[in-house]
Amino acid sequence: MAKSSNANIIVDPDGDLILLLDPAIPKSSKSDDSSSADTGSVKTPDDEICRESQMTQSVEVEPSEDEPIPIYNDSILVSSKHMSLASPVFKAMLQGGFQEAITLKETGKLEVPLPDDDPAAMKILIDAIHGRMKSVPLKIELELLTQLAILVDKYQCPEVLLPYPVIWKNKLQDWTDSSSDIARWLCIAWQFELDDEFLRATKWIQEQGTCDLETTMATMKYNLPIPKQVTDKMEMRRLEGIRKAVKILEDLITKYQHPAIRCTATEIPQIENKDPIKTSPSPYQSSLYQSSLYQTYPTQNLSNQIHPVQNHLKQISFLSYDHVVHYRRDCDSMLLGSLTKSAIINGLFPLPAPPYTSWSLNSLLAKMQLLEASNLCSKLLKTSVVQHGVIDGLRYSIRNIDKSGLTLKACKKLVGNT
């Protein structure tokens, strides 16, 4: 049996149930590896959740001789009737065929150790169950709200805390970009049925998550009661968005790798130059004219030496293509090379591959927004009009990727149907 004294916290003076919280494990002289709290000859509500189908069967657990006996810092005197009315888990334990119910009936008193329950959260839950609403705080931190969500799932009593979850969440509007905090919010929203917060959390995971929710929760010191159907659906949506973005870029590159010509030019562009007669040479051009570079052409007549650089520019007025098809092919080649080079610079080539480790949808889309695809048409005509719609089409496609998140209603239906 766990060591405890008389209750040091009185919730119900006429109570018959002492809940033991906040265990301190003495150092064992036999083993330094012992970390399990001895729960004595009675089972905790943790065990009853998994065994409600065997409510008429008493289960005894004999403590190991090597395990140190925990000392509980908090002993809370409560009403077994209140706890049973509020929680079907406590009802099964205290009014069924388990040893706890037998002990309570025979002696009129019962101690139940709860080594896994967060003490602060359990005290709030107990106060709410016993109608001590003035003792329930109006503002709590995210961690404590998470622990309350864990407890209401464990003891199946979310309605006990109404309407406090709405009050608490309104005072916690500053969300961080921590994946662990988002997982906490998802758990809170699921347990207390907070629609807006659930949608917000799922949208964050879909847009900014870099790993699956199960991996995030595995790094935490406790388990979050979020149904696996929900976490699996969330991960499917996250990966689906990333896959679509990668596919858009892959299809664009493949399109220009294909032998079919994509450039739509109907004629070879002319290079437009300013009228050389109306333009005076720049100081740099004049210095070139005075340099030895232009002294290597003694056959030039004097009329051409007035503005030799301008005359030189004027002579290059068209490209030496014998057919427009060849020009269009080179335009496509330039676009493909420019796009691929830009993808390499931005870390998008080789293309990201499943499971897209370290990639989030937002980080991928931000990189894709930086892509460039230069081509001969736009370069020679010096206009942004002739871009063949490549980058605009790319950006339009990625803007249409679904980032709407999941609604609480849809997920409740998903879990209800499975």
The tens place of each residue's pLDDT in the chain, 418 residues long, gives: 444 447 899 999 999 999 999 999 776 544 444 444 444 444 454 544 444 433 333 223 344 556 788 899 999 999 999 999 999 999 999 998 899 999 999 999 999 999 999 999 999 999 999 999 999 999 999 999 999 999 999 999 999 999 999 999 999 978 998 999 999 999 999 999 999 999 999 999 999 999 999 999 999 999 999 999 999 999 999 999 999 999 999 999 999 999 999 998 888 877 655 555 444 555 544 554 454 433 433 444 444 444 444 444 444 445 678 788 999 999 999 999 999 999 999 999 999 999 998 999 999 999 999 999 999 888 887 654 455 889 999 999 999 999 999 999 999 999 998 7
Q: What's the pLDDT score for residue 386?
A: 54
- 78 forms beta bridges with 17
Give me the phi and psi of 17, to 5 degrees please: -130, 125
**C-beta of residue 125 within 8 angstroms of C-beta of residue 82:** no
Cα distances (angstroms) measured from residue 13 to each of 4, 76, 87, 218: 18, 10, 20, 41
Question: CA-CA distance, 92 to 85, in Å (whole number)?
Answer: 11
Cα distances (angstroms) measured from residue 69 to each of 37, 178, 225: 7, 38, 29
**C-beta of residue 70 within 8 angstroms of C-beta of residue 2:** yes
- How far from each other are the two terminal CA atoms of the chain, in whole angstroms? 41
Q: What angle do CA 116, 120, 123 make, to 5 degrees?
A: 95
List CB contacts of 222: < 8 A, sequence separation 6 or more: 150
Question: CA-CA distance, 106 to 58, in Å (whole number)?
Answer: 15
Question: CA-CA distance, 190 to 279, in Å (whole number)?
Answer: 73
Give me the phi and psi of 24, to 5 degrees please: -115, 125
Q: What's the pLDDT score for residue 144?
A: 98
Question: CA-CA distance, 124 to 126, in Å (whole number)?
Answer: 5
**C-beta of residue 399 within 8 angstroms of C-beta of residue 214:** no
- 318 forms beta bridges with 270
Q: What's the pLDDT score for residue 272?
A: 56
Pairing verdict, β 9-10 and 71-78: parallel
pTM, rounded to two decimals: 0.78
Question: CA-CA distance, 185 to 145, in Å (whole number)?
Answer: 9
Question: CA-CA distance, 100 to 107, in Å (whole number)?
Answer: 11
Q: What's the pLDDT score for residue 339?
A: 97
